[in-house]
Structure 1
């Protein structure tokens, strides 16, 4: 049933709360439908290829190295007492997202400001908010935060355009996208003038020149799509790894082996992809605690969901990912966290149609490989550099929803440096 909704663009399109159009911009590409949406996505596909993802790795490792030191300092300042780390995970995910999306065009202070204020954007997008911007309400604060992020990213776009035009090497998503715009423009100009295109690489998808604001809007949607979901996954990942030291030890062993015993060695894409057990842990985590539980769609025309029921135009249809990911016919003991089902088991094949963590159909998540590899990198590096302990409370296994799902007690942890 969920797959049918995801795969029925003729009948439905994703919908969000009314205020989203005001926060993200009514002309944002995420609100496109049909052919316009398909064409826009084609121009973004190249930003998430394997080759592109490898370019982003050094920036991501840089962020994790810095924030893992901060984790140690947070525990030290708390006198060794547990600290709820949910908000800290949101900050590190914001930082790694910003480095991936806009590289070093953005300052550390701006990243910290975005991380602090992004909470306001998430709160503004809750279902039970005013659909209009009224001063000092959640939507008002969210709009101010969104405008700040958009302005910051627009400045980054201008810097990236200048650097790419001067022949710089791309090291973030914004660079890669702008470089494709430059290549497209050169190709078009050569053809219009009847000049030889020898030596020019024809872009896979011809792009027009986007304005700084349009680039900013698009990159902001990447942050919008990744921030809450990856923050949720990271929070649960650290809690569950602390609860299962046997699993964490196997992650450590694999990561140490891949790095040839050097805990500070950076990894390339081949090494990251070779971490099959760590990846199985991430895949199982996303099945066991799927960040996005449901995706609202609006019906564009009468939608025959079953032979017995047709959803009327204008109604909402909300497929959930949770039921498919807990299907006992596919996942033995579905309420247990068991990475073996993706390491030595048959869950990858048997549950291919059930794994709706990133959706399916024309609106599937563009960054699904990036998100998973990012989590593999994060927990792999943490396993080598840190020891951490989860301090359970009666609410540790209870779930709260703040756009995505988090432990009700915000995951109290303590960290210490790992000695080898």
Structure 2
């Protein structure tokens, strides 16, 4: 036994130099590869093997991305690079370079991914991963869900849900003696219920909504977790939650199709979708063509409007704008038409774009500038947040007049810097719905609630959750403004 133990020890001692040499060789190769891809761009001089800066990004994502922006600005290149979990990344601060990425989403250039490991979360056949005619065709089929008639239907549903949640917030404030409390999570819950109601309406019962809420929370946690697809990890739970969400929404679509076939009137988004789907099926049958392929791509649309960003940037101007909008709670379907109130909503989104980064993967090497080519496989991060503060006069100021005053028309002059909804062929289809929702929320909020922001050191510093939110969760003091709370 002693001889065998000694032999094993000698084997380890003999193998150790080779192991050290292999690790050193791997480290050297990785550093050389990183520097070859990095070129003249600013970035860390050395990277941790495989992991790169992922620990920093997860520990403090705000500081990590602020550092990328600072390097990109200081260098004057508008670009910065780093290394995350085996992937070379390029951060894009410059608006025109971001526009180049958005305009070149195609198989031989950039692939929109929504999240560095989004395909595992959203599925390979999601709308955001489609190209060319297939992508155009599906967007054409989705477009009828956001016509003025459809948006009017949704506004009535949105009003009912928003008022119900405002009532709960006021009741909570009264029960807690009027103390300030953070409304980030209540806003997220309100937006989630609004999305459920607008998208799936009568097809989700109370139990289905409860499960939906739980799975959607798992999805949001997974967006910020390490991409470890193993049992017990948040990323795996997020994948399982998304699979259940897809099944739930698929069942809603089947029920809706049956009701629309029976002549029912549309009551929610999926009804408008299925109504148009049935029309296409009937037209194909009449022309002797096979029925068109249809997929349930509801989850990403729900995700965009259900993330739960509190209206932390609006302040007194939002109150003034909201009062202009509200001419009676029963006229919810007319809200959003006043250009002044639309300007307030647009400035909120410009000043604090919820999704600050829109990751893409370079499917092939792409010459982004005259002197730099993005290498194949790199993940590029156009920053819509940084673009929002370029070009606009006094960009740090919250000033809705920039989108309202005819003599300024900054929405036209600096259109290429307003990238909160993306640009190019994958620009967000639901942006009108999102802006209408924000206008409607502000209108109702400032009409029925007296509010005051609780000011604490650093309270407005943005943190990633995964959309940006105020550091304190947007803590406010609330009390009822009107003598009689509106009915809903």
CA distance in 1, matches of 2:440, 2:205: 23
Aligned 1:204-243 pairs, distance under 5 A: 208=292, 210=294, 214-215=295-296, 218-228=297-307, 231-232=308-309, 235=310, 237=311, 239-241=312-314
Counterpart mapping for 1:298-377 below 5 A: 298-327=361-390, 330-344=391-405, 345-377=408-440
Q: Matched residues in 1 for 2:222 and 2:101: separation?
A: 26
* Secondary structure of 2:332's aligned partner: coil
Q: Say which one has the larger Rg.
A: 2
Does structure 2 retain, via aligned residues, the 8 Å contact 1:180–1:207? no
Q: Which residue of 1 aligns with 2:16?
A: none
Question: 2:320 aligned with 1:250, yes or no?
Answer: yes
- Structure 2 distance, partners of 1:394, 1:353, is 34
Larger relative CO (CA 8 A, sep 6+): 1 or 2? 1
CA RMSD of aligned residues (A): 2.1
Deviations 1:117-143 (A, max 9, x none): 4222112122x51342x2221112213
Aligned to 1:13, the other structure's residue is in SS state strand
1:149, distance to aligned residue in structure 2 (A)? 2.0
What is the TM-score of this pair, normalised by structure 2? 0.74
Which of 208, 233, 248 is the aligned partner of 1:110? 208
Q: Indicate the SS of the match to 1:146.
A: helix
Separation of aligned partners in 2, 1:67 and 1:364: 30
SS at match of 1:26: coil
CA drift of 1:220 comes to 1.3
Q: How many residues align?
A: 383
Between the aligned partners of 1:175 and 1:312, the Cα distance in structure 2 is 44
- Indicate if the aligned counterparts of 2:322 and 2:446 stay in contact, CA closer than 8 A: yes
Structure 1 segments unaligned to the other structure (5+ residues): 194-205
**8 Å contact from structure 1 (residues 9, 34) kept in 2:** no
Question: Are residue 266 (structure 1) and residue 331 (structure 2) matched?
Answer: yes
State how far apart, in whole Å, the 1-side matches of 2:210 and 2:233 are.
23
Contact 1:55 1:172 in 2 (8 A): yes
Aligned to 2:148: 50
Q: Does 1:59 align with 2:59?
A: no
Deviations 1:88-141 (A, max 9, x none): 111000111111111121124433443344222112122x51342x22211122
Aligned position for 2:20: none
The 1:296–1:406 alpha-carbon spacing in structure 2 relative to 1, beyond 3 Å, is same
Report deviation, 1:47. 1.5
Report the 3-state secondary structure (helix = DSSP H, G, I; strand = E; otherwise coil) of the residue aligned with 2:313: helix
Give the TM-score, by structure 1 length: 0.85
How far the C-alpha of 1:310 sits from its partner, in A, is 1.1
Q: How far off its partner does 1:398 sit?
A: 0.8
Name the counterpart of 1:185.
Answer: 281
SS of match in other structure, 2:459: coil
Matched, 1:391 2:466: no
What are the Cα deviations for residues 159-208 of structure 1, in whole angstroms up to 9, with x where unaligned?
21111011001121111111111111222222339xxxxxxxxxxxx972
Query: Which among 296, 299, 304 is matched to residue 359 of structure 2?
Result: 296
1:129 corresponding residue in structure 2: 226
